[in-house]
Each structure stands twice: as C-alpha cells, then as structure tokens.
Structure 1
Amino acid sequence: MTMPSPTHTTDVAIIGAGPAGLFAAFECGMLKLGCIIIDALDEIGGQCTALYPEKPIYDIPAHPAIEGGALIEALDRQIVPFDVPRLLGRRVERLDGTRGSFVLGTSSGDVIAARAVIIAAGAGAFGPNRPPLDGLEAFEQTGGVQYFVRRRADFADRDVLIAGGGDSAVDWALALRDVARSVKLVHRRDRFRAAPESLRQLDDAVALGQVEKIIGYQLHGLHGAQGQLTGVDLATLDGTVRHVTCDHLLPFFGLATDLGPIAQWGLDTIRGTIPVTPSTCESSLPGIFAVGDVATYPGKLKLILQGFTEGAMAAHAIHPIVHPDTALHFEYSTSKGVPAG
C-alpha cells in the first residue's frame, strides 16, 4: 500500500525523544541538517521523564548530580536554536524507502519524508511488570499502587511499601526515606541486585531505622476499599502470612519492553536491540541509524553519555547522505558556535 503525500519533509527523522534522541537533534542542527522528532509518549524525555524525573543521575559530564527531569529540560533548551518540530503522542508504524529517500507513517496519519532515519527508541515501548494480585487495577487507578515515582512530594507523610530487589527498589527506598512517614522494602531473599554504594547506603538506612527490610516474603494480597489502599499481605514460600499497613505500594519488578513496529522493518535485531556499526551507528539497512539503549555493538555501555556520543557519530555519518557534494570540515563548537537553524 502506497503512503499518501508527505505532511512533513526533513533531512533526518529521529524516532524517540529521550536524551539520546534530543542530543542527536542537536548534533544534526550543528551540521545544518534539518530534523524532526517523533515519540509515542505525550512529552519529551523518554524514561527520564516517565520513570525518574526527580531521581539524580551521577554520570553526566560536568554535572556531579542532575535529576532526570532537569537533564531533559537542559537538552530541550540546547536545541531551541534549531526549531526542531516534535510529533508527540504517536508512534511510527510504517517505514518505506531506501537510503536518501525514506517515508515514515505515524499512528496519527502523519507522513514524513526524510533522507535518513535515527532510531533512538530506548527500550522501545515500555510498561511495568505487574504483580498478579486480585483487585490490582482499582488501586492502580487511585495511585495506591504505582510503578513509577514522578514526584517524591506525593509520598510525604505516607506509609510506603516497596517491593523488589533491583536498583529501582533500593534507590527509591533511599530517596523516599526522608519524605515518607515510613518506608518498608520487601524482597524474597536477602540478596539485592543493586549498585554496591546503594547497598551500603541501604544498610546504613536500615541501621538508623529509616528503612525496614522484610526478607523472605512476596506480595500476596491487597487490602482497602474504593481504591484506597490500607495494607498489603505478604507471604513466605511455606505459607506464612504477614500483614503490612501502608498507603502506597511501589512494585519494582522491571519493565516489559517491545520494539513494536520497528521489529517489522527488516532490520537485524538481537534480543530487542539493533546491531550497528560502532563508528557510524548505521544499522543493517543503509541510511537507518540507531543510538542510545536500542543500539548494540561489541563493548557497548548502556549509559546516557554513550548515547550522546552515538548521536554525534550518526549525525556525521548522515551528512554525506544529505549533502553528497559538500565536504564536511570538522570544527570545534568553541570556534564554530551554534549556527542559525
């Protein structure tokens, strides 16, 4: 089926408005490549905005610590000079064409003509792994059960039960200990899969009575009425049940991710990621590039700062596609400045 005439024409279509996608837009702008950003979420920022806007990130250069939301605000300000259009709240469902001439179709009927494509889709579409508990949906609707922490202030003077054994569970137990009235952390075993420094801080918080660890139990049942959570039953493998009074349950059991339509475009994929050439970030299909968490290659580090580097490499590799007759003379931004969009 042929797509209708383009509603948008650009040099580079960037799929994904997380940190890697936003910085790729900046790098394209610096090379005078026009671009457009498309994202399935209703706001920019990807997981930084959706999952941890108030969680500090410690490995962004020149920022000893910066919250996820603040990082996205800074990246957004950085691309202001280039006037980058954003198509939000829609996902790219179709991609046709070849290197130098692609056409993308979105779920909202947009048709984008682009010379190259950068996929910065992170982990793809994501959602929480939900615990199999009766009556769960009613408590989800009122916020009694939440899978993401958007604002720590929402838990002020509340009794919070956190379930899980990974970085998210431990990090949020630490982040909420000074906000909530009480914080309890339940895990099926006394072995957590979190960063060593976080575990050290957790031990200190437990010793000081700021966090209570409940080991050897799993979520068993929810209590409350009309969506208002009043407590949670926990159970051991041998059937021992313990009731915990709480206002909020935060289950952190990881994310279920899905590349969605991207997986049907003929790209090589490996376990939900896209293999790329490390020096250019080009995928198995010429003219289509991948950066950030969705890209993979030997030695890949899943760090935001690596996604920034990949965005720069992809933009430089795209320049000869858009301007085949113009040599790109690399210049430092200190001498080049920010060109007009």
Structure 2
Amino acid sequence: MAELPGLGASGVTVETDVAIIGAGPVGLFAVFECGMLRMRSVVIDALDAVGGQCTALYPEKPIFDIPAHPAIDGAALIEKLEAQAAPFNPLYLLGRRVERLRSLDDEWELGTSAGDRVRAKAVIIAAGAGAFGPNRPPLAGLPGYEASGAVRYLVARREDFRGKRVVIAGGGDSAVDWALSLKEIAAHVVVVHRRPKFRAAPESCVRLEEAAARGEVEMAIPYQLHGLEGDGTRMTGVVLATLKGETKTVPADHLLPFYGLSMELGPIAEWGLGLERSHVTVAPSTCMTNLDGIHAIGDIATYPGKLKLILQGFSEAAMAAHAIHPRVFPGEALHFEYSTSKGVPVA
C-alpha cells in the first residue's frame, strides 16, 4: 500500500490519472484494470480499511458466485484483490469521504473530509450503495454496550463468540446465516423475530428449523427487542416483548441485531449526476454518467438489465477503464491484448 505523501492537518494534495471513490471489491478491481492500461489510481474510502461491505459486514461469510472459487469468504476475497492491485502501487486515502467535486479544465478535483485535494483526469465512483451504517434498535443504554462490543452489527471473527450466550435479532439472510454458523461454537444461540416467516434463502430457513428442532438454536417468536440488562457495558441479558406487551429476559453476553443497513448517497447526490432511486445512471457500454469523465460501477450504478452482482461490477470496472484510457492518453491507440500475452505492466 502506497504511503501518504506529506499528510498533515490539511490533508494531502496529489495528482493522478484516475480517482476511485470506494475501496470495496469492485473499486479494488478497478485499480487493477486501470493499472493494466498504465493508468495510476488514487482510492478514497470512508472506512478505515479496504474492502467495503465485505470487510465491514461479512468478512467470514462465504461468497459462492466468484468465478474459480466454489466458496470464498469476504476477507479472503479482499486480500486477493488487494494483492492483485498491489503491483500498480495505488495510493489509498482511507477514513475520509469525498465531499466536493468540481470540474477543473479537462480534469476533476475532489476534496475530502480530511482536507485532501485529489486532481484526476477521470473519476470512477465505486461506492456501493453510498455511505452505510446499521439500523440500530431503539434501546436504552445502547451506546455503552456498542462501545464494549456486547452489541455488534457484524461478525468480524467467529471466535469472539466461542462459549458465549448470543441473541440474534432479525429475519433476513444475515440473521439466519449467522445463527447457523454461531450455533457451532457459542454456548447458546437465541433467534428473535416478530413472526414465524423469515426472509432468508429457503434452504437456510429449513436448516434453521431443523437446528431448532434438535435444540441447537432457541427460537423466540413472536418477540421483538425491548431492553438490555447489565452494568452499562457488560451485558447479562436481553429483554424481549410480544406485540401484546408480554416480556421475558433471555440471558446473553452479546446481542447481534441484523436489521439491515441505512444507505445514503451523501455528497454524491449533490454533484449533478443523473440519479434514479438513489442510484447513478450510466451508459451500459462505458459506465459513464451524464458528466464527461465521471464513471460509476458496482452497486451504485444502474442501467437497463443491471444485475447487482460482484462479478458484474468486475466487468464494469474493465469497461470503465477502457473508456477512460483516451482521456489519459489522448491520441494514443489502445490495442487490446489478453493478460496472458502482455503480463502485468510495471507501475
């Protein structure tokens, strides 16, 4: 990972060929695709580490639709993508978000929350669904338990829950998948949902029902979260309530509320881009937006026939890089070559 040049209170000033907003899997692959065309990249992300949602939400959750990998967990995928991008020596500006974008001659200048100024010939927005954070349950004393790790919105390491009493709230894939995974190492797992029907994959729901029938998981249905018990940091129990107001307390060391994410485009919404339901509209063949030199790829981009798959985002990264090449190297013909023939160019 490239070192930050002269980082100070006012941030850094840097010029590059392509500024990539978002260090998730699609943004990292865009570094590789740009590098293969001899274009330098700066990557900016609001999180403190690369990987986007793969790192923040499901580092140990298997992904099954990555070509050549029957299964690979989020953390391993990011590690390999980062290694693939490394030969091109990208500069990562992490822990800050892009707040300003302005046209400057035939280039673009981006300003970040850390005071950085990045001047680039083109911009690739690979910001997933924008800035995101967990939907938090409205429980008294929640911040103290969040700070101690008793309440978490993601599972970064399964081992953190070995021998622990865990309450999982929610009815989607995350709740069901982690209940099935953590039951193997936790002392006790309770799943809280307000109705018997779950919104997870049917096969996973069947496995959860079978686990409950064997006594491997306790189902608290129909209940919802009502309160937390403990000393303000160390949790001892979770109070549950029915819609009729009947309550019960479940002993617990950890609460994992999986109520989805709160997504917002943030400053991106103010840049004059064509938007459709909080997504950026692009031309399918180039992934360019309505602003010349600004491209969008991955989950944030939309066009007819769009599929929200990582592998489609990888394809979009390649298309955007090839579309950008004439801006970086005007008048230079781009002769397409397979990577098996050209190898990996030296940065």
TM-score (norm 1): 0.96
Q: C-alpha distance in 2, partners of 1:112/1:98?
A: 11
- Higher alpha-carbon deviation: 194-203 or 154-163: 194-203
| 2:31 paired with 1:28 | no
1:104 alignment counterpart: 110
- Higher alpha-carbon deviation: 82-91 or 192-201: 192-201
1:318 alignment counterpart: 324
1:262 alignment counterpart: 268
Q: C-alpha distance in 1, partners of 2:31/2:116?
A: 19
Q: C-alpha distance in 2, partners of 1:338/1:150?
A: 33
| 2:36 paired with 1:14 | no
- Offset, 1:269: 1.5
Q: C-alpha distance in 2, partners of 1:99/1:126?
A: 33
Q: Is the 8 A contact 2:141 2:232 kept in 1?
A: no
Matches within 5 A, 1:92-131: 92-97=98-103, 100-131=106-137
Q: C-alpha distance in 2, partners of 1:99/1:319?
A: 18
| 2:187 paired with 1:220 | no
Which 4+ stretches in 1 moved above 3 angstroms? Answer: none
| 2:199 paired with 1:201 | no
2:293 alignment counterpart: 287
SS in 2 for 1:150: coil
Q: C-alpha distance in 1, partners of 2:37/2:336?
A: 9
Q: C-alpha distance in 2, partners of 1:44/1:157?
A: 30
1:47 alignment counterpart: 53
1:177 alignment counterpart: 183
1:297 alignment counterpart: 303
Provide the aligned C-alpha RMSD in A. 1.6
Q: Is the 8 A contact 2:44 2:98 kept in 1?
A: yes
TM-score (norm 2): 0.94
Q: Which AA in structure 1 matches 2:107?
A: S
Q: C-alpha distance in 1, partners of 2:40/2:138?
A: 47
| 2:83 paired with 1:77 | yes
- Higher alpha-carbon deviation: 150-159 or 208-217: 208-217
Residues 226 and 238 from structure 1, CA distance in 2 versus in 1: closer, same or farther, beyond 3 angstroms? closer
2:192 alignment counterpart: 186
TM-superposition CA deviations, 1:178-214 (whole Å, max 9, x none): 1111111110011111112222222222222222222
Q: C-alpha distance in 1, partners of 2:140/2:148?
A: 15
1:160 alignment counterpart: 166
2:239 alignment counterpart: 233
Q: C-alpha distance in 1, partners of 2:182/2:108?
A: 47
SS in 1 for 2:175: helix
SS in 2 for 1:140: helix
Q: Which AA in structure 1 matches 2:282?
A: V
- Aligned length in residues: 338
Q: C-alpha distance in 2, partners of 1:198/1:280?
A: 38
Q: C-alpha distance in 1, partners of 2:60/2:239?
A: 29
- Offset, 1:74: 0.3
Unmatched tracts of structure 2, length 5 or more = 1-9
Q: C-alpha distance in 1, partners of 2:94/2:246?
A: 48
Unmatched tracts of structure 1, length 5 or more = none
- Offset, 1:99: 8.3
Counterpart of 1:309 (choices 309, 315, 320) is: 315
TM-superposition CA deviations, 1:283-314 (whole Å, max 9, x none): 12111001111111122111111111110110
Q: C-alpha distance in 2, partners of 1:294/1:75?
A: 20
2:145 alignment counterpart: 139
1:66 alignment counterpart: 72
Q: C-alpha distance in 2, partners of 1:123/1:218?
A: 28
Question: What is the identity percentage for the equivalent residue pairs of Structure 1 and Structure 2?
Answer: 65
Q: C-alpha distance in 1, partners of 2:59/2:71?
A: 13
SS in 1 for 2:159: helix
